[in-house]
Structure 1
């Protein structure tokens, strides 16, 4: 069985790795809430509690890995529709023609 300190460290480590902001600007409330949950939950039904925390750590690691793989193998996933069209055209060696003011043609 793992100690509450090691579980807390694993949760805090995953929360820090998942954060997109700089360490100085991160909100400390998430880690504090996890710490409170771990301190209070460790006293009742420790087997289920430890299992739930291990599942939470596994979920956070999996989400982080999913994001990394999505960015690696699907680089267009976070682009707008217009940016996707331009990137796809560039990929096959074409440039998207510049659009003239659409109000003039009508």
Structure 2
């Protein structure tokens, strides 16, 4: 198997892993666009540079997915609104946030 085929499969696999939608509802245009890019650059004088760029693309996608997973694991409050974050932080130390009378009015 050639290096470009391995790189192509790695990039497509990483795109699928980082996708938030279900496999049946994913946009097929992304995968077909990458396929067209790889077919277009095959057997050209720019192939070595293109392979290097695609390897960097794979590394970027993989690192981005790992960063997201680590944020979710070690910082569970990162995706909350500021109000939800305050409530969760108060609950962490055993307190409840007092009810604000201005919001109730």
Higher relative contact order (CA 8 A, sep 6+): 2
How far off its partner does 1:59 sit?
A: 0.5
Number of residues of Structure 1 aligned to a counterpart in Structure 2: 104
Structure 1 match to 2:9: 9
TM-score (norm: length of structure 1) = 0.89
Structure 2 match to 1:87: 88
How far off its partner does 1:18 sit?
A: 0.6
What SS does the corresponding residue of 2:101 show, helix, strand or coil? coil
- When the two chains are superposed, the root-mean-square deviation of aligned CA atoms in Å is 1.7
Find the aligned partners of 1:61 and 1:2 in 2 and give their Cα distance: 21
More helix by percentage: 2
TM-score (norm: length of structure 2) = 0.90
Unmatched 5+ stretches in structure 1:
none
Q: Is the 8 A contact 1:18 1:64 kept in 2?
A: yes
